[in-house]
């Protein structure tokens, strides 16, 4: 039996903050932000939105696209670092909203790699617990963790959530490999110590950049090797949407044409655990990734953590 992707969904908050809007809050410019990152705007939650409300919309859409109902779910996992509450977890909050009952519910905190970590856990649990359908959600509302006076961080991030339904099926498609890892000794490069004096996200941008262009190609190579396929067989590479320059560096290092690395960071900013499922949903809706295509997903971020997987749609 294979574990396959059965449907996807996504939700971005309605409020948009452009680079020009930000230049009225901090000493920055559209030119600086777009040249260094590729980002032009990001979506930010309004007063009536939070992680659960976005995850509910994304989850509902993923269930609809998989043609199943909440009651069919045996598992809900949410990859996030920005829960609305410490208890109960986000997955438990989603369960009754989606009409699911009695299924296992958990959150996974692995920052921008959270969706890939959550997929790999869902994959394992579906096999060991004989679960037919799982909902895997990835998303963050980092605007709540932002120091809106710090131009080195507040221009980079946005809010958003994506979701995927996985199903157990006797078909050729499905997940072929995972490569997951972390280097905790580099935790200083990106942290958010809510219990300390300073409760905002802080980052050593250059350290994160160096880590990304070194670790991401290795993780991608490992996942491809474990899947027993060739790099050229991969139709689409969906990488965490942190920065266009990171995507360009990875494409150059791995000798993959940049056209195979679709991106939406110009519209969303860095949505942390939301970025890969948001992009996955978008490329499927636009027909950029089609049934039968071989796709690679790769997340990387605070921890420092990373995770890649190969699947056939």
Kindly list the catalytic residues.
Answer: 112, 240, 270
Residue of 15, 32, 109, 254 interacting with ligand ACO (CB under 6 A): 32
Its sign, for the CA torsion 21, 26, 31, 32, is negative
By beta-carbon proximity to ligand ACO, the closer residue of 72 and 266 is: 266
Closest by alpha carbon to 229, among 311, 126, 120, 303?
311
Q: Number of residues interacting with ligand ACO: please give it, by CB under 6 A.
A: 23
Selected range binding ligand ACO among 74-82, 150-158, 173-181, 278-286, rule: CB under 6 A: 150-158
By beta-carbon proximity to ligand ACO, the closer residue of 110 and 212 is: 212
By beta-carbon proximity to ligand ACO, the closer residue of 18 and 28 is: 28
Its sign, for the CA torsion 302, 52, 156, 35, is positive
d(CA 49, CA 198): 25
Does position 284 bind ligand ACO by CB under 6 A?
no
Residue of 5, 51, 103, 112 interacting with ligand ACO (CB under 6 A): 112
DSSP state of 270: B
Helix (H, G, I), strand (E, B) or coil at 258: helix
Residue of 206, 255, 257, 259 interacting with ligand ACO (CB under 6 A): 206
Give 208's Cβ-side CA count (13 Å radius). Answer: 22
By beta-carbon proximity to ligand ACO, the closer residue of 91 and 203 is: 203
d(CA 124, CA 175): 11
Is the preceding peptide bond at 88 cis, omega within 30 degrees of 0? yes
Which residues of this protein are in contact with ligand ACO, per CB under 6 A? 28, 32-33, 36-37, 112, 151-152, 155-156, 190, 203, 205-206, 208-209, 212, 240, 242-243, 270, 300-301
């Amino acid at each position: 039996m294979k574990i396959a992707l059965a449907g996807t969904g996504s939700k971005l908050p309605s409020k948009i903050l452009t680079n020009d809007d930000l230049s009225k809050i901090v000493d920055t410019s559209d030119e600086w932000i777009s040249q260094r990152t590729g980002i032009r705007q990001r979506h930010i939650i309004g007063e009536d939105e939070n992680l659960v409300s976005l995850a509910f919309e994304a989850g509902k859409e993923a269930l609809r696209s998989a043609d199943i109902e909440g009651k069919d779910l045996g598992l809900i996992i949410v990859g996030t670092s920005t829960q609305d509450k410490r208890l109960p977890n986000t997955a438990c909050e989603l369960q009754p909203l989606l009409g699911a009952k009695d299924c296992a519910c958990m959150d996974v905190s692995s920052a921008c790699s959270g969706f890939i970590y959550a997929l790999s856990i869902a994959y394992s649990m579906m096999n060991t617990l004989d679960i037919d359908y799982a909902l895997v959600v990835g998303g963050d509302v980092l605007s709540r963790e932002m120091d809106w006076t710090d131009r080195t961080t507040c221009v980079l991030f946005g809010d958003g959530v994506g979701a995927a339904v996985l199903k157990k099926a006797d078909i050729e498609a499905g997940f072929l490999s995972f490569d997951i890892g972390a280097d905790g000794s580099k935790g200083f490069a990106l942290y958010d110590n809510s219990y300390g004096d300073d409760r905002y996200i802080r980052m050593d941008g250059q350290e994160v950049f160096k880590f990304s262009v070194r670790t991401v190609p290795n993780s991608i190579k490992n996942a491809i090797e474990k899947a027993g396929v060739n790099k050229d067989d991969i139709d689409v590479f969906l990488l965490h949407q942190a920065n266009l320059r990171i995507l360009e560096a990875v494409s150059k290092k791995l000798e993959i044409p940049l056209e195979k690395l679709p991106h939406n960071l110009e519209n969303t900013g860095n949505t942390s655990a939301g970025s890969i499922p948001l992009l996955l949903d978008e490329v499927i809706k636009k027909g950029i990734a089609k049934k039968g295509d071989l796709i690679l997903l790769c997340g990387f971020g605070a921890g420092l953590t990373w995770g890649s997987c190969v699947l056939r749609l």
